[in-house]
Structure 1
Amino acid sequence: MINTIISIFFTILIIALILMFFISLYSFVKRTLTNASAQNNSTNEINKKLDRIIELLEEKNK
């Protein structure tokens, strides 16, 4: 009887740990993709500003 209860407890524990692993993996991947996207947008904005500065400097030098 006790062996069965312990066996069921450890089975539930293992299943819960596996579930927590997949949930944390999903969360990590989602956060990484979100941060990469935000960083890409920031880089694009910086590039646009630099292009505008170059244009203004070229106009000034003409």
Structure 2
Amino acid sequence: MLKTRINKIENTEEVRYEIYIPKESEASILIYLDEDAFLSLLDGLTEFGTELKKQEGINV
């Protein structure tokens, strides 16, 4: 199984995050986000995971 990688890139201007999602049968995905967008993504994933667990009857 291919594994997604997240790298924090720090430079003098800003903090950015590189997200690399490898794919076997199609082009891999490479995303760059600034810190605010990355934190927003994490919040969205957390909310989605919580809702998914509720739908499946898993205690959160």
TM (norm. structure 1) is: 0.41
TM (norm. structure 2) is: 0.42
| Max Rg structure | 1
Greater helix content: 1
